[in-house]
């Protein structure tokens, strides 16, 4: 595998924060680990849980997504 400077930086950042790769993935919504068919990415599960197939969003779905985003932005302050 060729070295990837961005991946190396992200892994170093996770290490400096004392987070495991899975914890870092969940916190920042990135996927760092190589795929393994038996154990899917932790971030992939979180993304899928909050995902709606494109074109199938109703007005209620849009309102709910906007509300979740607003609440998340308030939590991070």
Percentage of the chain lying above the pLDDT 70 cut: 61
pLDDT at site 17:
92
Ramachandran class of 2: left when φ > 0, alpha when ψ lies in -120 to 50, beta otherwise? beta
Do 42 and 26 touch, CB atoms closer than 8 A?
yes
For residue 71, pLDDT over 80 is answered with: yes
Q: For the segment 9-35, what is each residue's pLDDT rounded down to a tens digit?
A: 888 999 999 988 888 888 888 877 666
pTM flag (> 0.75) = no
Mean residue pLDDT across the chain: 76
């Amino acid at each position: 595998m060729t070295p990837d400077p961005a991946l190396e930086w992200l892994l170093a950042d996770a290490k400096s924060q004392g987070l495991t790769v899975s914890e870092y993935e969940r916190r920042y919504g990135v996927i760092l680990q190589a795929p393994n068919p038996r154990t899917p990415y932790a971030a992939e599960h979180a993304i899928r849980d909050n995902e709606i197939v494109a074109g199938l969003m109703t007005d209620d779905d849009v309102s709910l997504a906007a509300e979740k985003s607003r609440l998340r932005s308030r939590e991070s302050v």
